[in-house]
Amino acid sequence: MLQLYDLHTHSTASDGVLSPSELVKRAATAGIYGLALTDHDTIDGLDEAELAAGQVGVKWIPGVEISVTWNFQTIHIVGLWINLRSPELIQGLTKLREFRVWRAEEIGRRLAKSNIPNAFIGACKLADGKVLTRTHFAKFLIQQGFATNEQKVFESFLTSGKPGYVTDQWATMDEAINWIKLANGKAVLAHPSRYKLTYKNLRRLISVFKETGGLGLEVISRSHTPENVATIARLANEFELLSSIGSDFHNPYNRRDVLGQLPNLPLECTPIWQ
Ligand code: AMP
Ligand code: MN
Ligand code: MN
Ligand code: MN
């Protein structure tokens, strides 16, 4: 039988809903063979998840999803099989989380100017000392009755041009890939078809990613259509990159958010786990 991998998931260490151990148990129940937890800019959930993986017999892959600014765009680079003790990785992620706190304060100030008070405090409470993300602001705004679902709240308040949007200053591609390399990990470009890029710029992104030391593309992602999968699989082969699979699971109460249960990699792709 084919072994199922899911190499892109989130827990309460960032903006996921399940704790790291709950996530791992759910992955085992879902029949996942190999699992990576890849929280935004943190490795804090990985020890707990590894312990749980050992208990339920899931093959464990330590990971992280690093926020990067490339060509004025936010892109995400997943690091897999990373060494959690790498000082460069730890320092780099700490710097990104410090930016997140500053950004959250700024989001709070901007929302206050739009007559939405206490958003910073509200988001902090929901993050509960873990990594602060825009998802926490989204949840706060829904609780306060400003929108009915996350998609709408992002569109109305938290994306470019909207009252609670702050221009991001994340890591450079060079920094992120270097931290992953110094941690002996493999860098994977997350959900390549989700970025709002022309085909020409997508090729440029992949070309720079490869030149900088990136190893794989997330060919299968929850946010990819079958056409996206075909395009990214073709680009992976053209640029001689490996292929990865990730659900980007956050929330078991969202029907479109499912752990595992992803299509198989196209046959022409070389899996990153081989
Ligand atoms: P941040 O890294 O703090 O800017 O937050 C980004 C996170 O917000 C992503 O990882 C998604 O989980 C979530 N997100 C971004 N855009 C949307 C959207 N349009 N609808 C729902 N969630 C979103
Ligand atoms: Mn997220
Ligand atoms: Mn992402
Ligand atoms: Mn993600």
pLDDT tens-digit profile of 41-71? Answer: 999 999 999 999 999 999 999 999 999 999 9
Could you report the per-residue pLDDT of 223-240, keeping only the tens digit for each?
A: 999 999 999 999 999 999
String of DSSP letters for 200-252: HHHHHHHHHHHHHT--EEEEEETT--HHHHHHHHHHHHHTT-EEEEE--B--T
The Å distance, Cα 76 to ligand 1 centre, comes to 11
| Burial status of residue 29 (CB atoms within 10 A of its CB: 0-12, 13-18, 19 or more) | exposed
Q: Does residue 152 register a pLDDT over 90?
A: yes
pLDDT band at 2 (very low <50, low <70, confident <90, very high): confident
Closest-CA residue, ligand 1 atom 21, reads: 151
Identify any residues that bridge with 188 across adjacent strands, giving them in sequence order.
78, 216
* 208: CB partners within 8 A, 6+ apart: 70, 173
CA separation for the pair 117, 74 (Å, rounded): 27
Tell me which amino acid residue 30 is.
Answer: A
Angle of helix 20-29 versus helix 46-56 axis, rounded to 10: 30
CA separation for the pair 7, 24 (Å, rounded): 12
Residue of 37, 100, 126, 134 best suited for mutating to test ligand 1, as the one with most atoms within 8 Å of CB: 134
Q: Which ligand sits closest to the CA of 254?
A: 1
Angle of helix 87-113 versus helix 134-143 axis, rounded to 10: 30
The Å distance, Cα 224 to ligand 1 centre, comes to 16
CB 171 within 8 Å of CB 68: yes
Ligand 1 proximity of 244 Cβ (cutoff 6 Å): no
CA separation for the pair 77, 124 (Å, rounded): 25
- Residues 12, 17, 20, 21: is their CA dihedral positive or negative? positive
Closest-CA residue, ligand 1 atom 6, reads: 134
**What value, to the nearest 5°, has the Cα angle with vertex 167 and ends 67 and 151?**
75
Ligand 1 proximity of 118 Cβ (cutoff 6 Å): no
Q: Does residue 121 register a pLDDT over 90?
A: yes
Ligand 1 proximity of 8 Cβ (cutoff 6 Å): no
pLDDT of res. 243:
98
Looking from the CA of residue 155, the nearest atom of ligand 1 is: 19
Ligand 1 proximity of 134 Cβ (cutoff 6 Å): yes
* 119: CB partners within 8 A, 6+ apart: 107, 108, 111, 112, 137, 140, 141, 164
Average pLDDT estimate for 35-39: 98
pLDDT band at 1 (very low <50, low <70, confident <90, very high): low
The Å distance, Cα 79 to ligand 3 centre, comes to 12
For 37, which DSSP code? E
Q: Does residue 73 register a pLDDT over 80?
A: yes
